[in-house]
Amino acid sequence: MRGLGAAFARPFRRAWRATFGTRRSLSIVVTLTIVAFAVGFASNYWLPQRLGYTLLFGLCLAALWTWSSGQGVRVRMSRSRDRVQAGESIIERFEVINDSMIPKLWLEVAEESDLPGHTAQFVTSLSRSSHRNWRVQTTCHRRGVYNLGPITVRSSDPFDIFSRELRFGHRRGLVVYPRALELPRYSAPPANLPGEGRFRRRTHYVTPNASGIRDYEAGDSVNRIHWKSSLRTGSLKVKTFELDPASHLWVVLDLSSQDHVGSGDDATIETAVTVAASVVRLFINQSRSVGLMMFGERLDVIEPDRGSQHFGRILESLAVAQPIGSVPVASILYQQSRRWGRHTTVIVVTASTDPRWQGAIRTLTQRGVKVAVALLDLESWGGRAGAAGTAAELRALGVQVNVVRQGEYIPAVMVGQIPGGPLMSGPAASADPAGGTGNGAATSQPAAQMALEDVAEVSRPEAIDGSESVDEQAAVQ
């Protein structure tokens, strides 16, 4: 019986702590009311009794006030977009509506969020059947996936004895892509192209190689209709295409926790992700097939493909990349080397100075795989030295190496082998072509932002049919 009584009493104790334990004003008023009634009835004196009745009436009035303040309140919220690039801003519009005939004298509106620097909190008063609007602009400085919402509306009485919270909406995700800078002077070593016709395959892109016709299907672009065959057969026919023999390009991002230092925006992982995203953007814009490989919590492999939708998938993976892996880059190159042949170019983004992964690079080059390396100098971030020696050994193997140091202008450092020009890397290439020096994170890049905005719109789940969008883009190119 004692255990049963304790089980029934436990919920009441929780309710008491939740009600009186956190609200000091309510605890004080309830205590004064009980004391006033006890003294009044014990002494049979009218003043404590009237004080007790007054406090009890005030509690009832405050409870009624708080309840009515939340009646008929609605909140609407709209966001400009759910995918942005780091450095861009999102715009949220809030509308608080009072549908009741009772004025709302004190409403606290706040949106829950884990986005750094995001504050959407305000206090308002509404007359009967009215509404108020707010516009909140937040700059997204750090890549990642964040949650915004729901929206909480809190109302209380003038003495803050009671309070009431209402929740509107639901949690919505926000993807902040990493910066993808323009690299106008970077070029990876070209791989050996396969023989003519050997690697041809069908594709949904518009290429110069028309291989046949097929029946029209819903969603096919108009520019793919073969009008002569359509007139001859009496039904719509569309052209099918094949890709030219072309090399694949892989970007391997090292996420080993032993090869990254720093925290926040100055961490080496942020620079590494920016370099990887910039390289992917460059070759996607050149209609190259680009794949991504990295090992964080697990092996994340995105097979080579083309187009803006593929670029969006890669950016989403890079947005959540963190240096939490336990597998060194040497193991990844050895284990995954079967994916790459003579028609493949591999670009490794790493800060490792372990000689074992240099052996993996040597093995790949002996098999005919073309390799380029973007090497982060940890010494410039206050870490271990050895990047200069590693770069010299790799260059001795004929590998293109770009050494990236903290604070350098990434598009100027990432200068590849330009036909007819020298191979530039490191401090000699760290000057800004525009006449200055700066950090890649602070560079002005209207073209990159415009390109990313287009990618974000195409890669949304509610976008129009992706095949038509890709076809139209390829036709323009």
Per residue in 295-338, pLDDT tens?
Answer: 988 999 999 988 999 999 999 999 999 999 899 999 999 998 88
Q: What pLDDT does 217 receive?
A: 83
What is the H or E stretch that residue 237 is in?
Answer: strand 237-242
pLDDT at 13: 57
Per the listing, tokens 């919220």 go with 77
pLDDT score for 315: 95
What is d(CA 95, CA 86) in angstroms, rounded to the nearest whole number? 27
Is residue 307 within 8 Å of residue 473, measured between CB atoms? yes
Q: How do strand 370-376 and strand 344-350 relate by DSSP bridges? A: parallel
Burial of 269 (0-12, 13-18, 19+ CB in 10 A): buried
> What pLDDT is stored for residue 237 in this prediction?
85
pTM assigned to the model: 0.69
- Determine the pLDDT at residue 105: 87
**Sign (positive/negative) of CA torsion 262, 265, 268, 273?**
positive
The single-letter DSSP state of residue 363 is: H
Count of CB atoms situated within 10 Å of the CB of 286: 12
- CB-based burial of residue 173 (10 Å sphere; 0-12 exposed, 13-18 middle, 19+ buried)? exposed
Distance (Å, whole) CA 471 – CA 477:
10
pLDDT for the residue numbered 3: 55
pLDDT of amino acid 191 = 72
Counting as low any pLDDT under 70, the low residues of the chain are 1-23, 192-211, 241-246, 416-477
Q: Hey, how many other C-beta atoms are within 10 angstroms of the C-beta on 124?
A: 17
Q: What's the pLDDT tens digit per position in 15-38?
A: 545 454 456 778 888 888 888 888
Q: What confidence score (pLDDT) does residue 247 get? A: 72
